[in-house]
Chains A and B, each alone.
Chain A
Amino acid sequence: MSTADGADPMYPLLGRLVSSRDMGREIKLLGVKLLNGTQPPFPAYAPGQFAFLSAFGIGEAPFGLASTTERGEVLEFAVQRLGSVTTGLHELAEGDALGVRGPLGNTFPMEAFQHKNLLVLGGGIGGAPLRPVIHSVLDHRQDYGQLTILWAARHPSLLIFRDEYESWRAAPHTELHLTVDEADAAWDHHVGLMTDLVRQVAPSAANTVAITCGPPIMIYHVDKLLSELGFAPEQRYVTLEARMHCGLGKCGRCNMGELLVCRDGPVFSMAQVGNFLESYL
């Protein structure tokens, strides 16, 4: 494929793994720096966008960008080991080469979110593409209203970005609520599904935007609940995914009705995809 500048967007840029840190059980935070040389640099990107990572010889898969351009040049991806490509990426050592393609997809409308209260609901590895939203709000705290983060996982060992919770809580007008389906001995937060936590926190829909990412079943039930709490479809955002192959609107893998997750999304409001959500289950 080629863009106006002649670059082929199916052709990965070469990068190096600069850090690979265990974040949870089978979950690593990978830090990637692009190699200097003839390749163009990775363009500026915005919260919500994704990129493909190549474990060469194994394959390529899309991951939400978990970092922000503002916080530095290292691209960060939270990768849970689930299949062959994620295993290949987990097995890379710091310094190893990998491929990067992106940034792709649309973005959260951060400007439209300004001066609104934000309710961020992340389930499991689905929290990864929401971290750039949280970082952007924390880095421009005065531009946004109350930030309420509802963060869930099946088990404490599957919670991501645990080392950042303190700094999230310490920010002004920011709350963090945690829940797990199944606790361990050290757990002293809520136990139950994300929907239980939403009911307990009972967020107000007034001047608020909700942003959800997690497994499809969680997205579906959380969305229903938010609707009951008075959030209009235009106030309910999701970021969706599929095992896509191009990210460019060609391979056909990610359609949801007439929308393509890669090109029309991955960020959608429920006004766009509400009717399809049941078929996404």
Chain B
Amino acid sequence: MKTLSRENLNLWLDGLAAQQSLIAPHLEAQGVFYRPVQRAQEIAWEADRPALSAKEFLFPPSERLLKVEKRGPDIRLEVSPSAAPQAIFGLRPCDARGIRVMDAAFLETPPIDSQYASRRENTLLLGLACRSMGASCFCTIMGLAPDDPRDMDVMFTDRGPTLAVQALTPRGEALLAGLPIVEEPGEVEPASRREVGGLPTAEAWKESFGDARWAKHGERCLSCRLCAYVCPTCRCYDVRDEALPSPPGEAHFERLRAWDSCTREGYRLTAGGHNPRAAAGSRLRNRLLCKFVYYPHQYGPAACTGCGRCLDACPVNLDLLEIGGALQEAAQ
């Protein structure tokens, strides 16, 4: 295995932070979050996966699509500038997969979403293996592992005084060139795994459409959308125009897009105000079936990484594993 001393890694990260935005797990008042850091010393090393995913750095909660300037009868449209380079260090496998899942919709299915593409091209994914699975983690069900290096540019595994390092992409290889990397005998020790239940097959999820339990789950669901906002793959969005301060005689606006979720009550309204998903249960069903049936049908990958954040976030303890587990039992 290839290793890098912690001291050299920190020096390298300090150098990266000087050149571009460096995002890494950081201890905040309410937990550990991916945040811009100035120096390697600020990184929270001991944490489990951060409380929120890294989604916001590729697909921000709110972003400008367009600026509109009206001057009398004339209208000028201005597109947003391209993204600045950034590196995400300490990225967990579930969150790298989340980015990979968004890639499938925004990059790999035409047309390309240019704002997402600009951020993605300018973002380095520097992974850090989880040592074990957290209390609500179920990445192994989704075909991942706590130390899964796929979807990363570079993967690090913390071994105390040294870190094992593996480049996964040409970009990652170029990044590591010139670093004092040492070849050590032996293999990287795999992360510990925990036995977690199972989830239904895509077919069984699909067949659950008429299951009466969705209405029961709907009685609990508050349609608060927390599950979607903490989800590394939920990528639905709303678009609206907002007024900006304008000089006299002019009117300036921006067209924004912002995170939205299919569990929101008015999400699926049609033009006349009709709501095909007026019941909370039908919206919850749509969100989960999207993860395992609709999203794979449209874009390829399943839209769940097993990060378990929706389990932690739900104020009424609706649990994807419980809901899915019951359906799986019924299907057998």
Contacts of A186 in B (CB 8 A): none
Least distance between B199 CB and chain A CB atoms (Å):
18
Least distance between B89 CB and chain A CB atoms (Å):
29
State whether A243 touches B298 (Cβ < 8 A).
no
State whether B113 touches A250 (Cβ < 8 A).
yes
State whether B77 touches A14 (Cβ < 8 A).
yes
Contacts of A217 in B (CB 8 A): 274
Q: Which residue of the partner chain B has the closest CB to A217? A: B274
The interface bits of chain B over 282-298 (1 if a CB of A lies within 8 angstroms of the residue's CB, else 0) are 10001001100110011
Known: A245-B257, A252-B262, A279-B282. A59 touches B270 (CB 8 A): no
The interface bits of chain A over 220-258 (1 if a CB of B lies within 8 angstroms of the residue's CB, else 0) are 000000000000000000000111011011111111111
State whether B241 touches A258 (Cβ < 8 A).
no
Chain B interface size range: 35 or more
State whether B298 touches A258 (Cβ < 8 A).
yes
Least distance between B210 CB and chain A CB atoms (Å):
10
Which of A4-12, A142-150, A177-185, A197-205 lies at the interface with chain B? Answer: A4-12
Kindly state whether residue B110 has any CB partner on chain A within 8 Å: yes
Chain A interface size range: 35 or more
CA–CA, A61 and B239, complex, Å: 10
CA–CA, A125 and B268, complex, Å: 19
State whether B290 touches A255 (Cβ < 8 A).
yes
Kindly state whether residue A56 has any CB partner on chain B within 8 Å: yes
State whether B293 touches A258 (Cβ < 8 A).
yes
The interface bits of chain B over 112-139 (1 if a CB of A lies within 8 angstroms of the residue's CB, else 0) are 1110010000000000000000000000
Contacts of B282 in A (CB 8 A): 279
CA–CA, A243 and B268, complex, Å: 7
State whether A257 touches B294 (Cβ < 8 A).
yes
Those of B197-236 within 8 Å (CB) of chain A: 209, 235-236
Known: A56-B75, A82-B272. A246 touches B239 (CB 8 A): yes
Known: A1-B113, A97-B73. A57 touches B270 (CB 8 A): no
State whether B271 touches A125 (Cβ < 8 A).
yes
State whether B112 touches A2 (Cβ < 8 A).
yes
Q: Which residue of the partner chain A has the closest CB to B240? A: A59
State whether B106 touches A250 (Cβ < 8 A).
yes
Kindly state whether residue B171 has any CB partner on chain A within 8 Å: no
Those of A65-97 within 8 Å (CB) of chain B: 80, 82, 95-97
Known: A57-B251, A82-B273, A216-B274. A253 touches B111 (CB 8 A): no
Least distance between B103 CB and chain A CB atoms (Å):
12
Least distance between A144 CB and chain B CB atoms (Å):
29
Contacts of A95 in B (CB 8 A): 73
Known: A14-B77, A258-B293. A243 touches B269 (CB 8 A): yes
State whether A279 touches B270 (Cβ < 8 A).
no
Least distance between B206 CB and chain A CB atoms (Å):
8
In terms of DSSP, what is the predominant structure of the interface of chain B?
mixed
Q: Which of A251, A254, A255, A260 contacts B237 (CB 8 A)?
A: A251
Contacts of B150 in A (CB 8 A): none
Q: Which residue of the partner chain B has the closest CB to A255? A: B294
Least distance between B47 CB and chain A CB atoms (Å):
31
CA–CA, A126 and B146, complex, Å: 52
State whether A14 touches B114 (Cβ < 8 A).
no
Q: Which residue of the partner chain A has the closest CB to B75? A: A97
Contacts of B51 in A (CB 8 A): none
State whether A58 touches B241 (Cβ < 8 A).
yes
State whether B113 touches A11 (Cβ < 8 A).
no
Kindly state whether residue A3 has any CB partner on chain B within 8 Å: yes
Kindly state whether residue A280 has any CB partner on chain B within 8 Å: yes
Known: A57-B241, A253-B236. A241 touches B255 (CB 8 A): no
Known: A11-B79, A241-B270, A242-B270. A2 touches B111 (CB 8 A): yes
List 8 tightest A-B contacts by C-beta distance, closest first: A252-B236, A258-B297, A245-B239, A57-B253, A258-B294, A1-B111, A97-B75, A280-B276
* Given A251-B237, A255-B294, 7 more pairs with CB closer than 8 A: A2-B117, A59-B240, A125-B271, A215-B274, A243-B271, A248-B111, A253-B268
Which residues of B line the A interface, CB within 8 A? 65-66, 68, 70, 73-75, 77, 79, 105-106, 109-114, 117, 209, 235-241, 243, 251, 253, 255, 257, 260, 262, 267-274, 276-277, 282, 286, 289-290, 293-294, 297-298
Mind listing 15 A-B residue pairs with CB under 8 Å?
A1-B114, A56-B68, A56-B253, A57-B68, A59-B239, A60-B241, A61-B271, A125-B272, A245-B238, A250-B106, A255-B286, A255-B290, A255-B294, A263-B298, A279-B209
